[in-house]
Amino acid sequence: MGTALIKIKIMPESPDIDLKDIENQAKNIISGEKGEKTKLEIEPVAFGINAIIATFARDETLESDTLLKKLQEIPNVSSAEVIDFRRAFG
């Protein structure tokens, strides 16, 4: 069993959405799904829309489907997708 470093892009439904609320819920979901050392960043996408990039460590043997489904169910979230998955060494 190793540790994976995972990045997930969370897209809001519109540019008018309060990202702080989404960030708080996402952080709670990630920690509830055994994610550790969560870091959240705002990344401009286009036309005033910003995405939340969640970076965290998690056991690589755990399935990500449940985590992604929970993130997509946050109110005002359009999508959540894994954009990077790497094994951590050391």
What token pair was written down for 67?
Answer: 């985590």
pTM of structure: 0.89
Kindly state the tokens that stand for 62.
């755990």
Q: Are 66 and 73 in contact (CB under 8 A)?
A: no
> What confidence category does residue 90 fall into, taking pLDDT thresholds of 50, 70 and 90?
low
Residue range 43-75, pLDDT digits in tens = 999 888 999 999 999 988 888 889 999 999 999
Q: Which domains are delineated in the chain?
A: 3-88 (3.30.70.60)
d(C-alpha 84, C-alpha 86), whole Å: 7
